[in-house]
């Protein structure tokens, strides 16, 4: 019997070994796979266990965290949610994150490895660093001026500082309150469904995620290409252009909204926004040089990040001469984000140089110590400095005595360009009203702000839609807000 007892004991020992081996398999070998399983809620719980870091505008947080005491403990809150939604995006327990909340998530949630006091420290202690803060470049006065200006309309505003590329304002209207999506309850789900079903698409960040035909504002690019290429030697020489202009190789006749465009000088054509002159100028400059200039402004760049992705602005280069003529006046396949058009204005104001736009000035730890700074951004030459000087004059003329007079600011130097872009099937859609401009304070050495405004449905009355009428006053308000302090 003793031998059998020993055998039975051996059997029990085998059971023990099987248990130990299996537990090692579950807890060590397969642990990572189990932890990464999307149905495993532990990561999510840990993520919301501590308050999220904040996004700061001019030193003040525009975000916050609320302790709900629930399983997923902290919920995101927003101060002036709709105003800053195109900057912050949302941070939802149910629907993930967007915009800065998304690109800076590691820092805000405290998960970023570089926040750890020592490498692998958090993994070892199973702790999580407190979330850091993101300091943005946004100027709250400019942001609010743009938002108020667009109120009850539909459109977007982007404003940058030409000398640095700092984004001063990023506004999209209609907007939404990202706080509605923060939680995980029924209200969040209802808001999600409602916002997604809204035909006005309030969650679309029109300033960077949507492209519009830039219309006449693109004439700045065409003029720069023509001047750089020497197609036009003197802005006050007649350009030898007909009115109407028959598109090359077709019988389509292009006309103007304004009078006196036949054989106008570049200055007159720019100030009065003559389609015929710029269409012909684009064709004379040629697709290769148009492409080179447009791309040096940032068109066709598919990887612009500020740090979230910006929809690529396009200038179609596989075009015939008729299409090139239309492309040169910002129609056909030419499309731009408001941010891209603000960069166009900034290039003129900045002596022909374009700086990559950016939204994050600096990131800090919870205690305030700096984690990273924006540093100086790469510079691109969009046009010859002499060309920039002449374009500054042309843009000033538009504000002084052309289509953009409503953007004038007493005591400041302001340059601008209006645009009214046709779109839709057979140009049936309500045209987009554009205005791009820059402003330099009376005592300043250089322009302090460049801004682009697009209004999607400026007015019910089609005739009143014009960049100069509806978009220019908004641009002026933004520029004033930047110049004022």
Partner 1 sequence: MSKAGSTLATADPPTREPSPTVRPSGRRGIELTLIVLAVALSVYGYCAVGLARNGTVPPGAAGYGAGLGVLALVAHLAVRWRAPGADPLPLPIGVLLNGLGLVLIYRLDLEAPGEPAAPTQLVWSALGVALFTAIVLVLRDHRVLQRHTNACVTAALVLLTVPILFPAVNGARIWIRIAGFSIQPGEFAKVLLAVFFAAYLAANRSALTYTGRRVRWLHLPTGRVLGPIVAVWLVSVGVLVLERDLGTSLLFFGLFVVLLYVATGRTGWIALGLLLASLGAVAVGRLEPHVHHRIDTWLHPFASIEAGEGPSQLAQSLFAFAEGGILGTGLGRGHSVLIGFAVKSDFILATAGEELGLAGLSAIFLLYGLLVERGYRAGLALRDPFGRLLAVGLASIVALQVFVIAGGVTGLIPLTGMAMPFLAQGGSSVVTNWAIVALLVRLSDSARRQGDQGAVR
Nearer to partner 1 by Cβ, of 24 and 58: the residue is 24
User: To the nearest whole angstrom, how small is the minimum distance from the Cβ of residue 426 to partner 1?
Assistant: 46
User: To the nearest whole angstrom, how small is the minimum distance from the Cβ of residue 322 to partner 1?
Assistant: 53
Residue 329 CA to residue 437 CA, distance in Å, equals 17
Hey, which residues are catalytic here? 216
Go through the chain and tell me how many residues it has.
485
201 SS3 class: coil
Task: Say which DSSP state 25 is in.
Answer: I
Nearer to partner 1 by Cβ, of 22 and 255: the residue is 22
300 SS3 class: coil
CB-CB contact of 372 with 132 (8 Å): no
Helices 275-285, 219-229: crossing angle, 10 deg rounding? 40
User: To the nearest whole angstrom, how small is the minimum distance from the Cβ of residue 122 to partner 1?
Assistant: 13
Q: What are phi and psi of 2, to 5 degrees?
A: -55, -45
What would the DSSP string read from start to end of 389-410?
Answer: HHHHHHHHHHHHHSTTGGG--T
Q: How many helices (H) and strands (E) does the chain have?
A: 18, 20
Nearer to partner 1 by Cβ, of 41 and 253: the residue is 41
CB-CB contact of 99 with 88 (8 Å): yes
Helix (H) / strand (E) containing 47 = helix 42-47
Nearer to partner 1 by Cβ, of 121 and 320: the residue is 121
* In the block, residue with structure tokens 């912050």: 88
User: To the nearest whole angstrom, how small is the minimum distance from the Cβ of residue 23 to partner 1?
Assistant: 6
Nearer to partner 1 by Cβ, of 1 and 445: the residue is 1
User: To the nearest whole angstrom, how small is the minimum distance from the Cβ of residue 358 to partner 1?
Assistant: 39
Q: How many CB atoms lie within 10 A of CB 404?
A: 30
Give the binding site for partner 1 (CB under 8 A): 1-9, 11-13, 15-16, 18-20, 22-24, 26-28, 30-35, 37-42, 45, 126
């Amino acid at each position: 019997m003793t031998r059998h007892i020993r055998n039975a004991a051996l059997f029990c020992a085998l059971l023990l070994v099987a248990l130990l081996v299996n537990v090692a398999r579950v807890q060590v070998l397969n642990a990572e796979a189990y932890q990464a399983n999307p149905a495993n809620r532990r990561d999510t719980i840990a993520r919301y266990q501590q308050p999220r870091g904040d996004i700061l505008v001019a030193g003040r947080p525009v975000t916050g965290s609320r302790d709900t005491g629930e399983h997923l403990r902290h919920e995101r809150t927003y101060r002036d949610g709709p105003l800053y939604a195109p900057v912050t995006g949302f941070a939802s327990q149910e629907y993930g994150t967007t915009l800065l909340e998304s690109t800076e998530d590691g820092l805000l949630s405290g998960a970023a490895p570089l926040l750890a006091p020592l490498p692998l420290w958090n993994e070892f202690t199973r702790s999580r660093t407190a979330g850091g803060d993101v300091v943005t470049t946004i100027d709250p006065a400019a942001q609010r001026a743009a938002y108020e200006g667009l109120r009850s309309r539909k459109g977007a505003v982007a404003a940058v500082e030409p000398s640095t590329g700092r984004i001063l304002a990023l506004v999209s209207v209609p907007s939404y309150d990202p706080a509605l999506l923060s939680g995980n309850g029924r209200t969040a789900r209802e808001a999600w469904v409602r916002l997604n079903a809204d035909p006005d698409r309030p969650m679309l960040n029109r300033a960077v995620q949507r492209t519009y035909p830039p219309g006449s504002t693109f004439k700045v690019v065409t003029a720069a290409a023509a001047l750089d290429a020497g197609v036009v030697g003197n802005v006050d020489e007649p350009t030898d252009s007909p009115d109407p202009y028959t598109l090359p190789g077709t019988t389509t006749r292009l006309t103007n909204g304004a009078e006196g465009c036949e054989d106008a000088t570049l200055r007159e054509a720019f100030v009065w926004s003559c389609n015929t002159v710029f269409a012909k100028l684009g064709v004379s400059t040629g697709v290769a040089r148009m492409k080179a200039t447009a791309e040096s402004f940032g068109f066709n760049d598919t990887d612009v990040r500020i740090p979230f992705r910006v929809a690529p602005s396009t200038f179609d280069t596989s075009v015939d001469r008729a299409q090139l003529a239309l492309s040169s006046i910002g129609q056909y396949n030419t499309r731009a984000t408001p941010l891209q058009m603000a960069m166009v204005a900034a290039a003129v104001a900045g002596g022909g140089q374009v700086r990559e736009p950016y939204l994050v000035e600096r990131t800090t730890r919870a205690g305030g110590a700096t984690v990273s700074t924006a540093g100086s951004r790469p510079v691109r030459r969009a046009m010859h400095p002499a060309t920039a000087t002449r374009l500054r004059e042309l843009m000033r003329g538009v504000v002084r005595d052309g289509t953009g007079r409503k953007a004038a600011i007493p005591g400041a130097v302001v340059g601008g360009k209006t645009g009214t872009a046709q779109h839709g099937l057979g140009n049936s859609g309500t045209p987009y009203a554009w205005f791009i401009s820059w402003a330099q304070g009376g005592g300043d050495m250089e322009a302090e702000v460049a801004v682009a405004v697009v209004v999607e449905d400026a007015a019910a009355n089609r005739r009143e839609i014009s960049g100069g009428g509806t978009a220019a006053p908004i641009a002026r308000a933004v520029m004033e807000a930047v110049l004022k302090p």
